[in-house]
Amino acid sequence: MRQLGYKVHGLRRRIWRSRGVELQGEFLIDRTAHVTGGVILGGHCRVRRNVSIVGPRVTIGSWAYINDGTYIASDVTFGERVAVGQFCRFITGTHEPGGPEHRAGATVIRPIVVGDGVWT
């Protein structure tokens, strides 16, 4: 049976750290996952196929499971033992209502916090 990811240690750990990803223990991260800088991953996380985690300011607690196709934008915090279903989107950017000439006003970021043990 094919392993769905790889353990992050040695050279791979150094590569992830050079990208600005803080790793706090062992992980399984699929080769197709995309993680950018400013991300903190707690120990024993599993990140599945085609997941995008776009920092900065993304924190994922220990023993979290991020399923296929999930997209996580900046300013998102997951507690410990969180399970995220397939193709979920955590997008923090939005717009204030603008005037009638342009309804999308100023861009704002509103953080998302997912508590310990939540299943989404």
Rg of the chain in Å (alpha carbons): 16
pLDDT of residue 27: 79
Any alpha helices (H) in 1-120, and if so which ranges? 10-18
Q: Average pLDDT in the 26-54 region?
A: 90
pTM: 0.83
The pair phi, psi for residue 117, each rounded to 5°, is: 75, 10
92 DSSP 8-state letter:
-
HSE-CB at 86 with a 13 A cutoff on CA atoms is: 2
Q: Which CATH number does the domain 6-114 belong to among 3.30.70.890, 3.40.50.300, 3.40.50.720, 2.160.10.10?
A: 2.160.10.10
- Per DSSP, the residues of 77-89 read EE-TT-EE-TT-E
Domain extents for the chain?
6-114
pLDDT tens, 65-119?
999 999 999 899 999 999 999 999 999 988 888 888 888 888 898 999 999 999 9
Q: How confident is the model at residue 1 (pLDDT cuts 50, 70, 90)?
A: very low
